[in-house]
Structure 1
């Protein structure tokens, strides 16, 4: 006898998640490179939060190409119980605990956030978030960004676990192993005028052979604000106010090692902290820096050119799984047991200068040297 769950479609799940709840008229329009998203919800408060977060890409109906708008619905409600047999999505190396669970439909996928109970439907015709959205608006933000990331990957962009900055019209990627400090380094560099934010944790790269100057590798970011730990906030004068005064006093008494281990995250509003006009969506990639330093090292901080083809151990810090929300253009979903291949990354980054940072952690020193990469096309001074 056929299991009824094996015949579930996205249309059926979409109806269950909506549960007869009425969406507010209008919605929030987000204008991205090559894509426009319309976010609708039954919660005015959620839409207000999202409008504030995505303020730099909010557009009006007059600016939108209505023929290519993709709709996403977010229902504020109790955590849905769909009575399906979820399977845990495997965590990356070094990560513990359950985070995402999924159930594959005949034409899409349901993803459940284990800790919050939020449920997401990803299909070609439906993009729905349901559950306590207001309490977990960061997960709704991630789901919105997942739609843009899907489009980029469907169009040949490689996903990288990296931050990115733009200066002098060129982008620099910053990668590192877990806890390596790429976001902290990026925010140090953003304090310099003329430097703009590209992306915090997901950088996309694509080789373009159509340029008059020969092939270029382009870098694209996503509209996701940096999320930092309290140690980063306390050690950067521009970010101190992100943590309230009472909590700052508590954290100031901790050692560096204790601060590093705290699981707290704070959003950095780029426009508010660094000024408007400091966010750029795409730029040619001039180099990649991989942080391979150590907090307990006493060796001098050093930055050295490397060949990724010979140092595949470093490539592991750059490669990133598309994750459970990735849906290919043909509608098929990315498999939980898929193995990332190094060759596409090596092909994309061929000819791009790559540098390894080793020794003790010294953000000021490396920030200065990374800025020099923008200012001197010949390489490091």
Structure 2
């Protein structure tokens, strides 16, 4: 007999009432987070301070239950690591009515389906995993409306947006933050949803603060406040290659670094810039391409929906093929950035494109 999502969740929910509530709004998407732990709600309220909602009904509810590491004794399948990675971090189990995902390194468990969305485990030790789960509910909502998922950062100017994609290590988030120095607004750090609205191509971002490495911080004065002076002293004289390869990360809050009101979650998409440059490349160049003829660039932008997406509605599987991306991008300017990596020059050129 198949286990049901509701059956697995029943004893967890009965033992863990969640009276503490946080109201959020991602664009036109109102969402409530409830928890048994007030300290977690306080942390999330600070993190999502640009997206707080006071009152009104929510269309989605997420429960974040603080507790011990969970495995739930389910028949999990291992999720193979992404290309270039070796460590297996996730496993998942299909349930009648939904899915369970277990984080092997942290003991966090996430169960969702049929309107239920529950994170359970050591949430206070892993609040960014709770943030990702909350944002994944919004991503799933947009994908079920017909959007495609892009692996990209995004910026905007007066409602017009530019997505920034790139092959691994190309620095799309770093470039987005350099572009913010040109008076632009931030739309997203690592995920963009593309969809049509009233004939316009729209890009929708995710309410997640960029996590930046020391090289990004040291080369962007606007980010100075995110790095302690002790770290600055330790990192400032490192060789360039070593500096950019450090795994150390800092959360860069947009309002702290650039001022209030600079984080938008949607824009009309004016263009897609694909970073295809190297540190030892030749002359820096930004040039338009026909994405239908340059499908070799699509893998830099296309993003798998992953374990946290469940299609709703009828039984038709959404089309996330290359053809679907080419069609969605038809009529949108696509730019390829080649040559030597130069964040300041690219930021200036792409900001000028966006303002033009």
Query: TM-score band, normalised by the shorter chain?
Result: over 0.9
Contact 2:148 2:320 survives alignment (8 Å): no
Cα offsets for 1:211-241 (capped at 9, x unmatched): xxxx321111111111111211111112122
Alignment of 1:149 with 2:139, yes or no, is yes
Distance 1:339 1:256 in 2: 42
Alignment of 1:160 with 2:150, yes or no, is yes
Contact 1:124 1:331 survives alignment (8 Å): no
Q: What is the match of residue 177 of structure 2?
A: 187
Aligned residues: 356
Give the match's secondary structure for 1:59.
coil
Superposition CA RMSD, Å? 1.8
Q: What is the match of residue 90 of structure 2?
A: 100
1:10-89 equivalence runs, <5 A: 10-18=5-13, 20-25=15-20, 27-61=21-55, 64=56, 66=57, 68-89=58-79
Alignment of 1:117 with 2:101, yes or no, is no
Contact 1:80 1:118 survives alignment (8 Å): yes
Contact 2:277 2:340 survives alignment (8 Å): yes
Structure 1, gaps ≥5 residues long: 377-381
Give the match's secondary structure for 1:350.
coil
Contact 2:62 2:134 survives alignment (8 Å): yes
Cα offsets for 1:267-321 (capped at 9, x unmatched): 1110111111111121111111000001232x11111111111111101101001
Q: What is the match of residue 355 of structure 1?
A: 335
Distance 2:75 2:227 in 1: 40
TM-score normalized by the length of structure 2: 0.95
Contact 1:175 1:289 survives alignment (8 Å): yes
Contact 2:289 2:334 survives alignment (8 Å): yes
Distance 1:102 1:292 in 2: 34
**How much does 1:59 deviate?**
1.0
Q: What is the match of residue 190 of structure 2?
A: 201
Q: What is the match of residue 118 of structure 2?
A: 128
1:337-352 equivalence runs, <5 A: 340-352=320-332
Contact 2:77 2:92 survives alignment (8 Å): yes
Which of 321, 345, 366 pairs up with 2:346?
A: 366
Give the match's secondary structure for 2:143.
helix
Structure 2, gaps ≥5 residues long: none
| CA shift in 2, pair 1:245/1:19, >3 Å | farther
Which of 204, 210, 224 pairs up with 1:220?
A: 204
Query: Which shifted more, 265-274 or 45-54?
Result: 265-274
Distance 1:244 1:261 in 2: 19
Distance 2:162 2:312 in 1: 29
Contact 1:327 1:333 survives alignment (8 Å): no
Contact 2:151 2:192 survives alignment (8 Å): yes
**How much does 1:109 deviate?**
0.5
TM-score normalized by the length of structure 1: 0.89
* Structure 1 residue ranges, 4+ long, deviating more than 3 angstroms after superposition: 16-19, 330-334
**How much does 1:340 deviate?**
4.8
Distance 1:146 1:265 in 2: 21
Distance 2:138 2:351 in 1: 29
